Amino acid sequence: MKEHKISVSTLFSLDSQYSTTRCVTFNQPEVTNEVTGKIHSVLFLPDNSERVAQGGLRTQGYFKRNQTDMPLITVVTVVFNGVKYLEQTIISVIEQSYANVEYIIIDGGSNDGTLDIIKKYESQIDYWVSEPDKGIYGAMNKGISLANGEWLNFMNAGDWFYSKNIITLITNSNIQADFIYGNHESRYPTTQVKHKAGLLKNVWKGMVFCHQSFFVRKELQLCHPYETSNYIISSDYDFISKLIYKYKMDSHYLDQCLSSIDAVGYSGDNVLACTLEQYKVAKKYNNHVFLHFYYIYKFTIALPKEVIKSAFPISLVDTIRTVLYK
């Protein structure tokens, strides 16, 4: 999608309360696609016979643009039957202090009340769609195709920004890197644990930061879609490993807690499957002498972890986690 910086004179505010309604324009962005892009940029997803509904500011003729002194930041939320947690995710995005945020929600055809939550905030969401998709990474690729921002972040249902100033922090840093990453908080049933991002040189061991604390240039995502055929859990790990090991992209670390994530998700409940996928990714991009031995160790401790989680009360397991992470 071709981007043009836009003068302030063509912008206006729909509602100064929200990050997504402070800077809008009637000027529709010009959609063009570079030959290097593997994802086709669009303003609206093509018609789909299985579509449940779509809506948002774009469908009402309001658009977002990059500004000379205020880059557009796109946040994408992917959700399926997430009525329990989606509202807090949405609030964390639209209450950001930064004034030029584009918000896209990709719903997989929920039937649990999720659409009611989305429609409640429709006037603060740039574009949302509800239709069946090819899993979480297929839905994330849809979000990439719809993004207009210079920077892209995924904040999926059940996760949220750690504070209202996170996007302001990202943009005020005047960062020239290809991607930005920081620390995160993991929320367990009875406790929360803060995690400092690890060293990028150790990415062969697994994710050293969480995807929700990760901002990446949109052009990189257009050129490198998330793999949907080989990975169910670890396509984001594949993408990040590719940026670091294959393309040697520049990074910038912010020693700040950027996101709070729900630690009891699919990967958290499927440690063995997650470890296997991470091993497949790691050996594809790295030939570290200890790689195979390290993953044998990870497999060895994965099974006892599963047994402990199922055999002991949640409160005790969370207490052990808290002690180990201190």
First to last CA, the chain: 45
At residue 176, what is the residue type? Q
The structural domains of the chain, ordered by start, are 1-172 (3.90.550), 175-209+225-326 (no CATH)
> For the whole model, what pTM was predicted?
0.91
- Tokens 């160790």 correspond to 297
- How far apart CA 216 and CA 157 sit, in angstroms, is 19
Q: Which residues, other chains included, contact 43 with Cβ-Cβ below 8 Å and sequence gap of 6+?
A: 28, 29, 31, 58, 63, 127, 146
**Quick count: other Cβ atoms within 10 Å of Cβ 306?**
14
H/E element holding 316? helix 314-325
Closest CA to 170 of 301, 70, 247, 33: 70
Per-residue pLDDT of the chain (326 residues; tens, 9 = 90+): 444 444 455 899 999 999 999 999 999 988 888 767 899 999 999 999 999 999 999 999 999 999 988 999 999 999 999 999 999 999 999 999 999 999 999 999 999 999 999 999 999 999 999 999 989 999 999 999 999 999 999 999 999 999 999 999 999 877 889 999 999 999 988 889 999 999 999 999 999 999 999 999 999 999 999 999 999 999 999 999 999 999 999 999 999 999 999 987 645 557 788 899 999 999 999 988 899 999 999 988 877 766 666 666 766 655 655 555 55
